[in-house]
Homo-oligomer: A and B are copies of this chain.
């Protein structure tokens, strides 16, 4: 399953609104086929793995990171393909929360006499599929707030030309995330003050995430580096946006942040890497729309500057705890990640586990 998860990871940031899925087929003690879902409209992971395995799939076992589909979407059901290929055993990491599947893929395989095990490395799979799971069950992308701060809690100094908070290693990790998440979001304040390009740099076969600029009054300059054909401007219903549309921007109009995120779902964005600034992050945090945080902490003290969040809280007991906290030393920096909201998942009922 670890190999299947690595296969799936190759599709991260490319498959929405579909999930990233990986599949490995084992026969006679060796891997005979592997595949991943490269993008929506193209075949699913199981199909690539079965193609690779050919006749050797017969009697073999398929390891797949998400329950095989049981319905006709843009491609025929993968459960049927596994059955037709003569697979004897299927190991599934996690059930598909899509109401059109939701256990029916496993049922279909079992009805055909295939032995099915569900729940192997489920936590890893669910985390990898957070965007897809958010999209199909909550109708909005999974929002990850990434920030880098000093040990005294400052994400930026007050002056211009502030310099980087963290090390090159940490900044390289951010590039990896930009390559893996569907979109990258910033507030208009960040665009006006920093003019970031919001591109993926230094990653082999990397691709740029889609920029999303939260810009209530449509103040984004047409010369902004993040403004490319396809860049999304989230603005208010009445804002004048002709100049932005002329350079290829896609306009999303919404009064409230939850509505705006719902609109992004319509644009097939399953995950959003929120890179700043503190004002936008604070607004999303206040409405419980930040699902995950990824915090770099640099071992230095600044003294003054902007905090990562700055809204209203009266008592320390108002603090929201992170779950699934992970720590990593990254060069001189520290990386802390954790979830504020649960990733939607289906409980594996006893009847669906191994039998």
Residues of A within 8 A of B (CB): 149-154, 156-165, 282, 285-286, 290, 293, 295, 297-305, 307-322, 325, 327, 329, 332, 334, 336, 338, 340
On whether the beta carbons of B153 and A313 are closer than 8 Å, the reply is no
Chain B residue contacts of A301, Cβ below 8 A: 285, 290, 293, 309, 319-320, 322, 340
Question: How many copies altogether?
Answer: 2
Nearest-neighbor residue (CB-CB) of A160 within chain B:
B315
Q: Within the assembled complex, what's the spacing in Å between the Cα atoms of A161 and B149?
A: 27
Nearest-CB distance from A196 to chain B (Å)?
Answer: 15
On whether the beta carbons of A316 and B164 are closer than 8 Å, the reply is yes
On whether the beta carbons of B159 and A315 are closer than 8 Å, the reply is yes
In the complex where A151-B322, A317-B163 touch, is A303 in contact with B295 (Cβ < 8 A)? no
Contact of A303 among B153, B160, B285, B321 (CB under 8 A): B285
Q: Which 5 A-B pairs have the closest CB atoms?
A: A153-B153, A159-B314, A163-B316, A162-B316, A300-B319
Chain B residue contacts of A304, Cβ below 8 A: 309-313
On whether the beta carbons of B319 and A150 are closer than 8 Å, the reply is yes
Nearest-neighbor residue (CB-CB) of A150 within chain B:
B319
On whether the beta carbons of B299 and A303 are closer than 8 Å, the reply is no
On whether the beta carbons of A157 and B303 are closer than 8 Å, the reply is no
On whether the beta carbons of B152 and A153 are closer than 8 Å, the reply is yes
On whether the beta carbons of A282 and B303 are closer than 8 Å, the reply is yes
Tell me which of A151, A156, A163, A282 has the highest count of chain B C-beta atoms within 10 A of its own C-beta. Answer: A151
On whether the beta carbons of A153 and B307 are closer than 8 Å, the reply is yes
In the complex where A282-B303, A303-B318 touch, is A334 in contact with B336 (Cβ < 8 A)? yes
Chain B residue contacts of A310, Cβ below 8 A: 303-304
On whether the beta carbons of A332 and B325 are closer than 8 Å, the reply is yes
Nearest-CB distance from A87 to chain B (Å)?
Answer: 42
On whether the beta carbons of B157 and A336 are closer than 8 Å, the reply is no
Q: Within the assembled complex, what's the spacing in Å between the Cα atoms of A308 and B332?
A: 21
Q: Within the assembled complex, what's the spacing in Å between the Cα atoms of A157 and B317?
A: 9
Tell me which of A159, A319, A334 has the highest count of chain B C-beta atoms within 10 A of its own C-beta. Answer: A319
Chain B residue contacts of A321, Cβ below 8 A: 299-300
Question: What are 9 A-B contacts defined by CB distance under 8 Å?
Answer: A151-B336, A152-B308, A153-B154, A158-B313, A300-B321, A301-B319, A301-B322, A302-B320, A303-B310
In the complex where A163-B316, A316-B163, A318-B157 touch, is A152 in contact with B307 (Cβ < 8 A)? yes
Tell me which of A282, A316, A322 has the highest count of chain B C-beta atoms within 10 A of its own C-beta. Answer: A316
In the complex where A162-B316, A316-B164, A334-B336 touch, is A307 in contact with B309 (Cβ < 8 A)? no
Chain B residue contacts of A285, Cβ below 8 A: 301, 303
Q: Within the assembled complex, what's the spacing in Å between the Cα atoms of A156 and B315?
A: 8
